[in-house]
């Protein structure tokens, strides 16, 4: 069974860390760095799991999530939102827009891996 994740993140160090831990577990990891074109990238071939940063150039992760939830093809796509902004209002906004899971940076590698695997398996509900 293939496991494909799309990571929408603009920090090179975070991209490499997540790519390393997920690919080591058998995930095919695609990356995208631009918020403005992220929705088109997802819709062109929805992954099994989307890992989405909040602060991106061109468009915020919140806006991307809101647009994806309005599309029939991605209304149920498992989305892990990563952010350095861990304030309660950020989590509330992510929940309002339909995030599946919310995680703050810095994160533990094992936590990201376990969460992505659980999202693929359907073992995690909404936040």
Find the range with the poorest average confidence among 48-52, 76-80, 104-108, 121-125: 121-125
For the record, the structure tokens of 35 come out as 């918020």
Quick one: pLDDT at residue 127? Answer: 45
Residue 58 lies in a domain: yes
Q: For residue 47, what is the domain's CATH number?
A: 3.40.50.2300
Residue 50 lies in a domain: yes
| pLDDT at 125 exceeding the cut of 80 | no
User: For 74-95, what is the mean pLDDT?
Assistant: 90
Peptide bond into 27 cis (omega under 30): no
Q: How many CA atoms lie within 13 A of 71 on its CB side?
A: 15
User: Helix, strand or coil for residue 107?
Assistant: coil
Residue 127 lies in a domain: no
For the record, the structure tokens of 106 come out as 């810095």
In degrees and rounded to multiples of 5, residue 28 shows phi and psi of -85, 120
Question: How many independent structural domains does the chain possess?
Answer: 1
- Structure-model confidence comparison of residues 126 and 17, the more confident one: 17
| Per-residue pLDDT tens digits for 4-50 | 999 999 999 999 999 999 999 999 999 999 999 999 999 999 999 99
Task: Give percent of the chain with pLDDT exceeding 70.
Answer: 95
Residue 17 lies in a domain: yes
Residue 19 lies in a domain: yes
Structural domain including 61 reads: 4-121
Residue 31 lies in a domain: yes
User: Helix, strand or coil for residue 79?
Assistant: strand
Quick one: pLDDT at residue 67? Answer: 98
Residue 75 lies in a domain: yes
Cβ(50)–Cβ(79) below 8 Å: yes
Residue 44 lies in a domain: yes
């Amino acid at each position: 069974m293939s496991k494909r994740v799309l990571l929408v993140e603009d920090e090179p160090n975070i991209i490499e860390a997540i790519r390393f831990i997920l690919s080591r577990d058998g995930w095919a990891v695609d990356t995208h760095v631009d918020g403005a074109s992220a929705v088109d990238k997802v819709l062109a071939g929805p992954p099994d799991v989307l890992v989405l940063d909040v602060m991106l150039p061109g468009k915020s992760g919140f806006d991307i999530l809101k647009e994806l939830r309005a599309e029939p093809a991605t209304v149920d796509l498992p989305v892990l939102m990563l952010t350095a902004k861990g304030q309660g209002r950020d989590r509330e906004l992510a929940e309002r827009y339909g995030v599946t899971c919310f995680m703050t940076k810095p994160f533990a590698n094992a936590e990201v891996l376990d969460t992505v695997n659980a999202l693929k398996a359907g073992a995690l509900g909404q936040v």
